[in-house]
């Protein structure tokens, strides 16, 4: 069979994945896939073999919904059941089909285009009556619907809360086994497994989940309210099921629900009230079965959203009702809608005019706060006790300085060392303060200071001490006399001068005629210096006869000890050798003694040192032969030394050294052996050739002595005996040899007196080449051999950057030999953003690297144009809000809105641009059009902004038209042939200062109430393409699907403060 029974509908058995490559299942048959191999661009999709704009591109539908032709619809797969091992999928038209599940391989096809028959266990039982249809119908059901249509219809019926009808359709196709006819035949049919269907209230587990009648939507199904079978049937009432309970929706004419109970329906007969005239009070006043008919709660400002809710409350001058919500258009003078809530009306009384806030206790700017965020004046004194004084705003008192309690404006009132008037001076109103003064004492000196009196009411003299006269040459008591209380002629403490005291040390004295006199010394002391000032300064007791003797005592008390004493005759000293000139000397308490010098030896001498150590007139007398000649320990027989004292003085040694005297050729017996010049052959000795001392030494030559005459036997390398004269040896410097071949080496190889003559460069040596080597030929440079005389600038490995081929390899300034030259000749840049300069890398002036010729431009001011104007590496950052937005409203609820319609960053006056990473707001460029609602929202978000709500947009636009209440075709672009650059119609400005809010292009907005945006989005202000005056009004709201885009649709952005 080519069909299966699925969810009560007969569908083809050709499931997706069962067709060969290049074909696809369509209508139950494998057909050629016209889109096979098609690769459409972004934003397009393949339909019947052609790439077409994808209306769903950029659409983001919520969970449970899919995009179909640009509109989000319920996902049909949510109500579709596929057989085991198959899953539901959607084709490009969002029609459902079943395909092999990802974990299951697709069934094999026996031949192209024909599905393989299902296994017998999966075949549905045959219907009675011999029908070859695998899915029989219930008698009277009228046949089956196509599968996809039925599935979509079932989903629609369930969403419309008509599950009973969905169940009826679901029963329109059942298996033959379940039909009454099949049950009557008694045929021996195999049992069938549970086939999942939509669950309905029928006492059967339709969806095969093990639970009976677990139906969705019982909370709102009037026929199964809260539970299956619970029908809402209320007397005299039209019922409704809300939250699983029956409620009265409306009463029949003539009845009312006076007790408010739903169970007894509309139990009371209706009695007309208010003379039978219907008023808005949620009651049926005219007993016609309907309450409050004739009242539009959606836009009635006297009954806005509910009866009795008046939009024009206290302080409201003008109000309207929009979609059941009050909107305040204008407040009465002196009133403000501070909290932004229409329910409270213009609740805030404010006499301010919106001007800047001042310190006066009033809310000048009408933002709900008085005297807030003020910049205080700098009017307070800050010197003296006023240091740290602050200025405070004290409401109606204005700005007040927080001076301390003892502040006195205008002058000092107390003398207390403080600056009470804060003028930078202390106690300046009390004259003489701090000056010198003479207090109440015996002197006449001003040795006090004028200070504040103890009570602070005046001044007083504070004197620290009395100035008594002192002997110091000064007038201490300020009476005009100096030292008048002292007699310098007789005062022993001040004798002749102040502080000259005659009562000196160890003496008694007095003053006479201004000079000190000593009357006597204390016992044991002597006035040695005769000075009265020092007294008897020398401690001494004179001997009886006062004669000085050698004993270490000053017998005559003259300050000297043992002076001029004479040794006795018996005191004598040795006077030879080391002791010459030694006399007896006084040694104090030790008496007279002989002071011999160091080295003196008493008795026999023990040291050999050339001195008479024992002072007996003889020197080193114990040491024999001292000073006589001697022959040391050597090979000669010559006495070449003298006996002398040894270094340690313990004996004598011979000064002859260990070296023997060798015989030399000099005509003498040098070694004292009785023979002269023995061992020398004057006929063959080149050092003594013919005679002693005649040496055969000649320059650069090897010499020999033959028969007592010198001859040249050979020359040193590099020299020759060119003149044949023995006396100058080998006089010619020559590194070669006679007859040798001359070579280029800076030498005379053939020793002919010429260098490098007739030489030729080696075979194969070549200097000529490209670059600097052009025309260069080898040259003999002596010791350097043949070289290539390259010009200045030549390099073996090119490292210079100079535009030349320095290494003659045919390449100029190559980087292979010098990485510093990498990039030479390549393009380069300097700076970034708008400052980007372009150039090329060239050699630097030093020739050792490269430099870029690019010069960076001068940074400008950042603008929203997709360009890094200030050259900091960031694009369109931190554009000042004041340059592109205006604030609407004050206080809470205020917001900022773009001055101009949004434009692309690269837009110009002639092009809308191509870049779409963010939205700009600037004049003189074409606005951003052909944009969907979601794209507009994303562009605003990229700038840290958002789409305006419809309420914000209308508030910024105005009441009727931006420029006033009467349409003016010349103000805005409402009759043009296309969009014009933003701001080109300066007359199209709203009271808030916003441009182009009427005409030009219609603008996307968000909904202030989310429920208003469930399907469509606001499109405000109309466009150049509209032809109806109403569409250009501020208070008109157009709507469109969010995926709509055209050349007449754009947007503008808002931002919270």
User: Angle, nearest 10°, between helix axes 147-159 and 163-170?
Assistant: 160
Inform me whether the pLDDT recorded for 198 exceeds 70: yes
Q: What is the pLDDT of residue 80?
A: 63
Q: What is the pLDDT of residue 57?
A: 67
The enclosing H or E element of 516 equals: strand 515-521
Based on the domain organization, do 938 and 996 belong to the same domain?
A: yes
Mean predicted confidence (pLDDT) in 98-123? 44
Q: What is the pLDDT of residue 68?
A: 62
Mean predicted confidence (pLDDT) in 66-83? 66
Based on the domain organization, do 925 and 1049 belong to the same domain?
A: yes
Work out the number of other CB atoms within 10 angstroms of the CB of residue 918: 21
Q: pLDDT category, 635, cuts 50, 70, 90?
A: confident
Task: Please check whether residue 544 lies inside any domain of the structure.
Answer: no
Based on the domain organization, do 135 and 109 belong to the same domain?
A: yes
Task: Please check whether residue 578 lies inside any domain of the structure.
Answer: no
> CA-to-CA distance for 268 and 252, rounded, in angstroms?
11
Q: pLDDT category, 79, cuts 50, 70, 90?
A: low
Question: Do residues 763 and 770 make contact, with C-beta atoms less than 8 angstroms apart?
Answer: no
Q: pLDDT category, 150, cuts 50, 70, 90?
A: very low
Inform me whether the pLDDT recorded for 152 exceeds 50: no
Inform me whether the pLDDT recorded for 193 exceeds 60: no
Sign, CA dihedral 73-79-83-87, equals positive
| DSSP assigned state of 413 | -
Mean predicted confidence (pLDDT) in 793-801? 84
Q: Is 297 helix (H, G, I), strand (E, B) or coil?
A: coil
- The label of the residue with tokens 């209440």 reads 965
Based on the domain organization, do 947 and 1056 belong to the same domain?
A: yes
Inform me whether the pLDDT recorded for 409 exceeds 50: yes
Tokens describing residue 342: 């229409």
> CA-to-CA distance for 78 and 82, rounded, in angstroms?
11
Question: Do residues 503 and 522 make contact, with C-beta atoms less than 8 angstroms apart?
Answer: no
Tokens describing residue 618: 């003889």
Give 734 or 902, the one with higher predicted confidence: 902
Q: What is the pLDDT of residue 53?
A: 66
Residue finishing a domain among 134, 164, 185: 185
Based on the domain organization, do 305 and 161 belong to the same domain?
A: no
Q: What is the pLDDT of residue 112?
A: 35
Q: What is the pLDDT of residue 156?
A: 36
Question: Do residues 933 and 1017 make contact, with C-beta atoms less than 8 angstroms apart?
Answer: yes
Task: Please check whether residue 686 lies inside any domain of the structure.
Answer: no
Q: What is the pLDDT of residue 175?
A: 36
Based on the domain organization, do 452 and 407 belong to the same domain?
A: no
Work out the number of other CB atoms within 10 angstroms of the CB of residue 368: 15
- The label of the residue with tokens 């609407």 reads 888
Based on the domain organization, do 925 and 1010 belong to the same domain?
A: yes
Based on the domain organization, do 289 and 328 belong to the same domain?
A: no
Inform me whether the pLDDT recorded for 268 exceeds 80: yes
Span 490-535, pLDDT tens digits: 887 888 888 887 776 787 778 888 788 877 787 778 888 777 777 7
Question: Taking all residues of the chain, what is their mean pLDDT, rounded to a whole number?
Answer: 79
Based on the domain organization, do 914 and 984 belong to the same domain?
A: yes
Span 847-889, pLDDT tens digits: 888 899 888 888 777 777 767 777 877 776 555 566 789 999 8
Weakest mean pLDDT among 184-193, 517-526, 617-626, 809-818: 184-193
Q: What is the pLDDT of residue 92?
A: 58
| DSSP assigned state of 191 | P
Tokens describing residue 749: 């190889």
Based on the domain organization, do 272 and 371 belong to the same domain?
A: no
Span 202-215, pLDDT tens digits: 989 888 988 999 88
Based on the domain organization, do 155 and 50 belong to the same domain?
A: yes
Tokens describing residue 716: 């040193």
Task: Please check whether residue 232 lies inside any domain of the structure.
Answer: yes
**Nearest Cα residue to 901 out of 827, 982, 967, 821:** 982
Span 296-311, pLDDT tens digits: 877 888 888 788 888 8
Question: Do residues 124 and 108 make contact, with C-beta atoms less than 8 angstroms apart?
Answer: no
Task: Please check whether residue 471 lies inside any domain of the structure.
Answer: no
Give 762 or 344, the one with higher predicted confidence: 762
Inform me whether the pLDDT recorded for 908 exceeds 90: yes
Q: What is the pLDDT of residue 100?
A: 66
Q: What is the pLDDT of residue 139?
A: 32
Task: Please check whether residue 194 lies inside any domain of the structure.
Answer: no
Q: What is the pLDDT of residue 47?
A: 65
Q: pLDDT category, 723, cuts 50, 70, 90?
A: confident
Q: What is the pLDDT of residue 118?
A: 34
The enclosing H or E element of 152 equals: helix 147-159
Residue finishing a domain among 329, 349, 369: 349
Inform me whether the pLDDT recorded for 1012 exceeds 90: no
Weakest mean pLDDT among 104-118, 287-301, 791-805: 104-118
Q: What is the pLDDT of residue 142?
A: 36
Question: Do residues 956 and 1020 make contact, with C-beta atoms less than 8 angstroms apart?
Answer: no
Radius of gyration, alpha carbons of the chain? 67
Print burial letters for 614-630: b (CB count within 10 Å at least 16), e (below 16). bbbeeebeebeebeeeb
Question: Do residues 754 and 736 make contact, with C-beta atoms less than 8 angstroms apart?
Answer: no
Phi, psi of 713 (to 5 degrees): -100, -30
Beta-carbon contacts of residue 442 (< 8 Å; ≥ 6 apart): 466, 477
Tokens describing residue 1003: 């603008």
Inform me whether the pLDDT recorded for 168 exceeds 50: no
Based on the domain organization, do 424 and 448 belong to the same domain?
A: no
Query: 90 forms bridges with which residues in the sheet?
Result: 96
Residue % of the chain over a pLDDT of 90? 18
Task: Please check whether residue 586 lies inside any domain of the structure.
Answer: no
Q: What is the pLDDT of residue 1005?
A: 96
The parent domain of residue 260 ranges over 217-293
Q: pLDDT category, 137, cuts 50, 70, 90?
A: very low
Q: pLDDT category, 75, cuts 50, 70, 90?
A: confident
Q: What is the pLDDT of residue 305?
A: 79
Q: What is the pLDDT of residue 107?
A: 42
Q: What is the pLDDT of residue 658?
A: 66
Inform me whether the pLDDT recorded for 1055 exceeds 80: yes
| DSSP assigned state of 88 | E
Mean predicted confidence (pLDDT) in 914-931? 94
Intra-chain end-to-end CA distance of the chain, in Å: 70
Q: Is 183 helix (H, G, I), strand (E, B) or coil?
A: helix
Q: Count up the domains in the chain and report the number.
A: 7
Q: What is the pLDDT of residue 478?
A: 87
Task: Please check whether residue 193 lies inside any domain of the structure.
Answer: no
Total number of residues shown for the chain: 1057
Q: What is the pLDDT of residue 157?
A: 36
Q: What is the pLDDT of residue 1033?
A: 95
Q: pLDDT category, 153, cuts 50, 70, 90?
A: very low
Residue % of the chain over a pLDDT of 70? 83
> CA-to-CA distance for 203 and 210, rounded, in angstroms?
12
Give 712 or 338, the one with higher predicted confidence: 712
Weakest mean pLDDT among 692-696, 798-802, 1029-1033: 798-802
Q: pLDDT category, 101, cuts 50, 70, 90?
A: low
The predicted model scores a pTM of 0.30
Using CA atoms, how far residue 852 sits from 503, 835, 837, in Å, is 101, 15, 10
């Amino acid at each position: 069979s080519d069909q299966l029974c699925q969810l009560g509908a007969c569908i083809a058995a050709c499931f997706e994945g069962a067709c060969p490559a290049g074909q696809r299942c369509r209508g139950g048959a494998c057909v050629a896939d016209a889109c096979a191999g098609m690769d459409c661009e972004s934003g397009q999709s393949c339909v019947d073999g052609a790439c077409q704009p994808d209306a769903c591109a950029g659409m983001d539908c919520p969970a449970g919904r899919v995009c179909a032709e640009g509109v989000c619809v319920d996902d049909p797969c949510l109500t579709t059941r596929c057989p085991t091992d198959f899953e539901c999928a959607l084709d490009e038209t969002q029609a459902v089909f079943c395909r092999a599940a990802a974990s299951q391989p697709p069934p094999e096809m026996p031949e192209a285009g024909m599905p393989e028959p299902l296994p017998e266990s999966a075949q549905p039982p045959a219907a009675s009556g011999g029908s070859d249809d695998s899915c029989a119908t219930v008698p009277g059901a009228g046949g089956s619907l196509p599968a996809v249509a039925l599935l979509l219809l079932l989903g629609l019926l369930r969403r419309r809360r008509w599950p009973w009808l969905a169940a009826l359709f679901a029963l329109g196709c059942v298996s033959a086994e379940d039909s009454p006819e099949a049950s009557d035949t008694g045929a021996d049919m195999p049992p069938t497994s549970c086939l999942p269907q939509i669950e309905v209230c029928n006492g059967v587990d339709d969806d095969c989940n093990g639970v009976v009648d677990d139906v969705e939507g019982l909370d709102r199904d009037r026929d199964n309210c809260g539970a299956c079978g619970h029908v809402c049937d209320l007397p005299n009432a039209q019922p409704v099921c809300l939250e699983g309970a029956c409620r009265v929706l409306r009463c029949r004419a003539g009845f009312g629900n006076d007790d408010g109970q739903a169970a007894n329906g509309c139990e009371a007969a209706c009695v007309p009230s208010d003379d039978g005239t219907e008023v808005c009070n949620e009651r049926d006043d005219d007993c016609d079965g309907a309450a409050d008919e004739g009242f539009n709660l959606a836009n009635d400002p006297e009954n806005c959203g509910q009866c009795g809710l008046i939009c024009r409350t206290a302080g409201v001058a003008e109000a309207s009702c929009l979609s059941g919500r009050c909107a305040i258009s204008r407040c009465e003078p002196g009133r403000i809608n501070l909290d932004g809530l229409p329910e409270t009306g213009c609740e805030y009384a404010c006499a301010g005019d919106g001007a800047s806030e001042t310190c006066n206790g009033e809310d000048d700017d009408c933002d709900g706060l008085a005297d807030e965020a003020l910049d205080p004046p700098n009017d307070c004194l800050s010197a003296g006790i006023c240091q740290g004084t602050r200025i405070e705003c004290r409401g109606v008192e204005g700005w007040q300085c927080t001076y301390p309690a003892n502040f006195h404006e205008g002058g000092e009132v107390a003398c207390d060392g403080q600056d009470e008037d804060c003028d930078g001076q202390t106690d300046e109103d009390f004259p003489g303060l701090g000056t010198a003064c003479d207090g109440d004492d015996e002197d006449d000196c001003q040795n006090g200071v004028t200070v504040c009196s103890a009570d602070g009411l005046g001044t007083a003299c504070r004197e620290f001490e009395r100035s008594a006269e002192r002997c110091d040459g000064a007038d201490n008591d300020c009476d005009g006399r100096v030292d008048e209380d002292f007699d310098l002629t007789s005062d022993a403490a001040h004798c002749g001068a102040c502080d000259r005291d005659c009562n000196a040390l160890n003496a008694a004295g007095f003053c006479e005629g201004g000079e000190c006199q000593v009357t006597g010394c204390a016992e044991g002391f002597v006035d040695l210096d005769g000075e009265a000032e020092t007294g008897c300064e020398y401690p001494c007791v004179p001997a009886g006869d006062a004669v000085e003797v050698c004993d270490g005592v000053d017998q005559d008390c003259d300050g000297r000890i043992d002076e001029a004493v004479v040794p006795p005759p018996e005191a004598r000293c040795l006077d030879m050798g080391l002791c010459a000139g030694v006399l007896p000397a006084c040694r104090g308490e030790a008496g007279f003694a002989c002071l011999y010098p160091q080295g003196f030896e008493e008795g026999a001498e023990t040291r050999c040192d050339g001195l008479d150590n024992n002072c007996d007139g003889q020197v080193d007398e114990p040491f024999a032969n001292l000073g006589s000649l001697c022959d040391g320990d050597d090979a000669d027989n010559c006495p070449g030394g003298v006996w002398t004292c040894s270094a340690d003085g313990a004996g004598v040694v011979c000064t002859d050294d260990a070296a023997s005297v060798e015989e030399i050729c000099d005509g003498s017996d040098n070694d004292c052996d009785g023979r002269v010049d023995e061992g020398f052959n004057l006929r063959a000795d080149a050092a003594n050739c013919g005679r002693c001392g005649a040496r055969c030494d000649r320059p650069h030559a090897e010499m020999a002595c033959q028969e007592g005459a010198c001859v040249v036997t050979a020359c040193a390398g590099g020299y020759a005996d060119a003149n044949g004269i023995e006396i100058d040896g080998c006089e010619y410097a020559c590194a070669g040899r006679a007859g040798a071949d001359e070579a280029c080496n800076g030498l005379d190889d053939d020793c002919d007196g010429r260098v490098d003559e007739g030489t030729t460069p080696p075979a194969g040596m070549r200097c000529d080449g490209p670059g600097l080597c052009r025309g260069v030929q080898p040259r003999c440079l002596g010791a350097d051999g043949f070289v290539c005389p390259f010009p200045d600038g030549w390099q073996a490995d090119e490292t210079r950057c100079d535009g030349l081929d320095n290494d003659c390899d045919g390449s100029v300034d190559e980087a292979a030999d010098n990485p510093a030259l990498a990039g030479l000749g390549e393009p380069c840049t300097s700076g970034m953003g708008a400052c980007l300069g372009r150039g090329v890398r060239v050699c630097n002036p030093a020739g050792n690297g490269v430099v870029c010729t690019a010069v960076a431009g001068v940074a400008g001011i950042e603008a929203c144009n997709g360009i890094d104007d200030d050259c900091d590496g960031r694009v369109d950052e931190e554009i000042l809000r004041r340059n592109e937005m205006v604030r609407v409203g004050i206080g809470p609820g205020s917001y900022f809105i773009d001055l101009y319609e949004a434009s692309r960053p690269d837009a110009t006056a002639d092009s809308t641009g191509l870049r779409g990473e963010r939205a700009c707001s600037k004049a003189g460029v074409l606005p951003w059009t052909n944009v969907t609602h979601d794209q507009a929202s994303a562009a605003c978000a990229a700038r840290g902004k958002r789409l305006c709500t419809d309420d914000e947009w209308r508030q910024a636009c105005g009441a009727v038209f931006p420029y006033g209440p009467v349409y003016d075709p010349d103000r805005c672009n409402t009759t043009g042939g296309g969009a014009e650059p933003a701001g080109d119609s300066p007359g199209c400005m709203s009271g808030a200062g916003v441009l182009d809010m009427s005409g030009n292009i219609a603008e996307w907005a968000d909904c202030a109430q989310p429920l208003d945006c469930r399907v469509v989005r606001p499109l405000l202000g109309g466009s150049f393409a509209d032809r109806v005056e109403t569409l250009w009004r501020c208070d008109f709201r157009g709507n469109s699907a969010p995926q709509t885009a055209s050349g007449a649709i754009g947007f503008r952005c808002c931002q919270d403060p």
